A and B are shown apart, each in its own frame.
Chain A
């Protein structure tokens, strides 16, 4: 009788290999590794190489982290250096530990 599992779908929009982009990816990686041990799919999209993908999702700035699932969709713009803000943005503050699905 485990709690219902939630699968997170996240999108991180970056523009090439800029320091900001790398920092954003590193921060997100830390969060995902240390605070969030659940199931997620992170899609890293380079807006310079795939502008049509950025356009579809109406991305105006990089780096941008978008939580697609579970709803509602949330976007966090910036290098993600504020961990708390990222966690709240992802609705993870309490749930990050609740979804470490077992099997």
Chain B
């Protein structure tokens, strides 16, 4: 008897029954003599959620399919034994070794009657057994297993995505990996990330204007196979209001699932887009960053409609939430990088500015120093003439000078000296300020120095009718102190001089001195006009006189206190002022004993007049000698004038001058002999510079003389000073 059975049944079965029928499949294989293949959904990967068991052999082929029903406890089950139907089913399975095996063994013959009969009986028995109502709840074990399996796989995927987010800050890598993994998990044809271009989420430099509304395009995609068309960078020309509506909808954090696009009749901006890329079913989850829709995570099914299951929707939303975190992190990181970059640029720029400013400052300071030194020298030379020659005029013995003439000349002389002092001050201050000045330390008596300082201002105090008090409290064994005594005296002079200047008649100026643990304290107190509090801080600034009005009543360039501060600073000391307007001022100087200080750098102050140059002038003519003496002393040299040539050699030996100036005009031969004698000196003795004065017509004689330089008569005073300066400044120079 030959008959064909196509389908044994198609009905709802409890889970347990379905499972037992699967068991019958396994049982049947024991009766088979031929090669067979039996596989279930547990062994074969197939799209969809369908459960099945398929048995293929020469004598018996059967297929059990089951789809879970909405109640979750039953399967809609089909049992098929028709070979063509089984073959059709096998074709739907993705290629894999198990499927290959099934396809090899399948045949077009109907089942053998004996085997079919045995199989039918077993099935029947199974179904009958299950007709008895089972006590207790029905537990659908395979369902639980499948759900657990699902849950595990899902957790694994989420874990992969989150660990990727933790490990990398490279957003493109995170997104691409996530897209690929999620696609593989969902077994969908295409998975993409659609990103909205939005000023807030893109580079601030790319901000588009109002006329160019935000759009979007696909930035990442994963495809199931190469047959699926790529939509990467696909840009849809949406209308702005549609995009806006879209984004508003997704901003409510909704996942949209479309099982069949054809049935999706809602007016939606994505609909046209989906049709153009052959999408049949789609699942969309929004990616929301800072409460704005950054983009969409979209799954596409192209092969046909697909029923999106609940856990798939949940998963897609879960993944999109993790991506939200990753995107936010990346944005923060990018901002941080930008800020860091900006900061670095600013630092580099500031450094550059500072460096160039510092360079300019150094150059300017050096130029200033050179200018001051040059100008001081240039000013001093002609000024020496004014002072020297006016001094000579004052002692003019020939011809009468009226009292008026004399007082005018005296005025010229005194003004010249005052000006010279000022120039010297400026030069000295310039040295101190440029840090070139060095301390000339020596041990001295504080008591004696105090007396000398008072002596310097006594005359002025009398002239101003100011009473000078002194209060020295220094133990005898502490009296010896080490500092730069010359500079200290200058400081005290400045303080005392100022105190006297700014104290009205019958006022008092007091100098107090005491020692405090290796520090000498000098205090000058006056009962003068005082200094307003707001001006006290400016007191020690260069060229700053507190009240411009004082410029007319009190002479000075405002250098005094600034210089005093410099000198005190050089000693690493301290100077301060306290004053009450209208009552008086107290200046206090604290000077550490320099013996305790480390050796300061030795920097020599090069200045022609610092030479303690002693000059012997051999000159018979008193008038010439007087002028030269006045010129040279005005320039700061020590001059010893001797008339008589016969004693000059002996005196030179005794006085050890640096320069000898000899007038060769008279008694030429004698003087040449003297030059010869002067040159005969012990080898270790300091050489003496010889400057010879000659009249022009005696050049021949001068040429034979062994001298360092020549001066022609009559002597030009300015040139004389210049020559001596050069001789003593550059000992090796040939003039």
Q: Render B439-477 as a binary contact track against A, CB cut-off 8 A, 1 for contact.
A: 000000000000110011100000000000000000000
Residue pair B638, A39 in contact (C-beta under 8 Å): yes
For chain B, the bracket of interface size reads: 35 or more
Residue pair B634, A1 in contact (C-beta under 8 Å): no
Residue pair B456, A42 in contact (C-beta under 8 Å): no
At the interface with chain B, which of A45-53, A58-66, A72-80, A81-89? A45-53
Residue pair A37, B612 in contact (C-beta under 8 Å): yes
Q: From residue 626 to 668 of chain B, which have CB atoms closer than 8 A to chain A?
A: 629-630, 632-634, 636-644, 646-647, 650-651, 654-655
Q: B559 an interface residue at 8 Å Cβ cutoff? A: yes
Which residue on chain A has the smallest CB distance to residue B417? A5
Q: Render A1-39 as a binary contact track against B, CB cut-off 8 A, 1 for contact.
A: 111110101000010110000100110010010000101
A39 and B452 CA atoms in complex are apart in Å by 18
Say yes or no: A25-B424 contact (C-beta < 8 A), given A41-B641, A49-B644, A98-B455: no
A26 and B654 CA atoms in complex are apart in Å by 7
Residue pair A41, B639 in contact (C-beta under 8 Å): yes
Q: B342 an interface residue at 8 Å Cβ cutoff? A: no
Q: Name the A residues within 8 Å of B66 (CB-CB).
A: none
A45 and B563 CA atoms in complex are apart in Å by 43
At the interface with chain A, which of B12-20, B21-29, B205-213, B488-496? B488-496
Instruction: Determine chain B's interface SS by DSSP, over half rule.
Output: helix
Residue pair B559, A1 in contact (C-beta under 8 Å): yes
Which residue on chain B has the smallest CB distance to residue A37? B612
CB distance from A96 to the nearest CB of B (A): 9
Residue pair A53, B633 in contact (C-beta under 8 Å): no
Which residue on chain A has the smallest CB distance to residue B615? A41
A52 and B378 CA atoms in complex are apart in Å by 40
Residue pair B455, A95 in contact (C-beta under 8 Å): yes
CB distance from A102 to the nearest CB of B (A): 6
Which residue on chain B has the smallest CB distance to residue A11? B641
Q: Give me 6 other A-B pairs in contact (C-beta within 8 A), A2-B425, A41-B630, A94-B452 excluded.
A: A4-B417, A25-B651, A44-B644, A46-B643, A95-B452, A103-B607
Which residue on chain A has the smallest CB distance to residue B639? A41
Q: Name the A residues within 8 Å of B559 (CB-CB).
A: 1
3 closest Cβ pairs, A-B complex: A1-B560, A41-B629, A103-B424
Residue pair A44, B641 in contact (C-beta under 8 Å): yes
CB distance from B137 to the nearest CB of A (A): 113
Q: Name the A residues within 8 Å of B610 (CB-CB).
A: 102-103
Residue pair B563, A1 in contact (C-beta under 8 Å): yes
Which residue on chain A has the smallest CB distance to residue B558? A1
Most buried by B among A9, A43, A49: A43
Residue pair A44, B391 in contact (C-beta under 8 Å): no
Say yes or no: A98-B654 contact (C-beta < 8 A), given A1-B560, A16-B647, A103-B607: no
Q: Name the B residues within 8 Å of A103 (CB-CB).
A: 424, 427-428, 607, 609-610, 636
Q: Name the A residues within 8 Å of B452 (CB-CB).
A: 94-95, 97-98
A3 and B453 CA atoms in complex are apart in Å by 9
Q: B105 an interface residue at 8 Å Cβ cutoff? A: no
Residue pair B643, A49 in contact (C-beta under 8 Å): yes
Which residue on chain A has the smallest CB distance to residue B630? A41
Residue pair A98, B489 in contact (C-beta under 8 Å): yes
Q: Render B260-303 as a binary contact track against A, CB cut-off 8 A, 1 for contact.
A: 00000000000000000000000000000000000000000000
Residue pair A17, B647 in contact (C-beta under 8 Å): yes
A70 and B451 CA atoms in complex are apart in Å by 21
Residue pair B638, A1 in contact (C-beta under 8 Å): no
Residue pair B644, A43 in contact (C-beta under 8 Å): no
CB distance from A35 to the nearest CB of B (A): 12
Q: Name the A residues within 8 Å of B625 (CB-CB).
A: 43
Say yes or no: A1-B655 contact (C-beta < 8 A), given A41-B629, A103-B610: no
Count contacts on A: residues with CB < 8 A to the other chain. 35
Residue pair A17, B612 in contact (C-beta under 8 Å): no
Residue pair A1, B490 in contact (C-beta under 8 Å): yes
Say yes or no: A102-B643 contact (C-beta < 8 A), given A39-B638, A41-B632: no
Residue pair A39, B456 in contact (C-beta under 8 Å): no
Q: Which of B428, B455, B641, B650 contacts A42 (CB 8 A)?
A: B641
Residue pair A1, B609 in contact (C-beta under 8 Å): no
Residue pair B643, A44 in contact (C-beta under 8 Å): yes
Say yes or no: A2-B421 contact (C-beta < 8 A), given A32-B638, A53-B643, A101-B636: yes
A101 and B636 CA atoms in complex are apart in Å by 8
CB distance from B212 to the nearest CB of A (A): 75
A75 and B713 CA atoms in complex are apart in Å by 33
Q: B497 an interface residue at 8 Å Cβ cutoff? A: yes
Say yes or no: A2-B490 contact (C-beta < 8 A), given A41-B639, A103-B424, A103-B607: yes
A100 and B451 CA atoms in complex are apart in Å by 16
Q: B4 an interface residue at 8 Å Cβ cutoff? A: no
Q: Name the A residues within 8 Å of B489 (CB-CB).
A: 3, 97-98
CB distance from B620 to the nearest CB of A (A): 8
CB distance from A28 to the nearest CB of B (A): 9
Residue pair B451, A94 in contact (C-beta under 8 Å): yes
Q: Name the A residues within 8 Å of B609 (CB-CB).
A: 103
Q: From residue 556 to 597 of chain B, which have CB atoms closer than 8 A to chain A?
A: 556, 559-560, 563-564
Q: B486 an interface residue at 8 Å Cβ cutoff? A: yes
Residue pair B633, A7 in contact (C-beta under 8 Å): yes
Q: B622 an interface residue at 8 Å Cβ cutoff? A: yes
A65 and B560 CA atoms in complex are apart in Å by 37
A62 and B169 CA atoms in complex are apart in Å by 106
Q: Name the B residues within 8 Å of A7 (CB-CB).
A: 391, 633-634
CB distance from A94 to the nearest CB of B (A): 4
Q: Which of A1, A46, A102 contacts B497 (CB 8 A)?
A: A1
A39 and B613 CA atoms in complex are apart in Å by 10
Say yes or no: A50-B643 contact (C-beta < 8 A), given A43-B629, A98-B452: yes
Which residue on chain B has the smallest CB distance to residue A36? B638
Residue pair B456, A3 in contact (C-beta under 8 Å): yes
Q: Name the A residues within 8 Å of B428 (CB-CB).
A: 102-103
Q: Name the B residues within 8 Å of A45 (CB-CB).
A: 642-643
Say yes or no: A5-B654 contact (C-beta < 8 A), given A102-B486, A103-B609: no
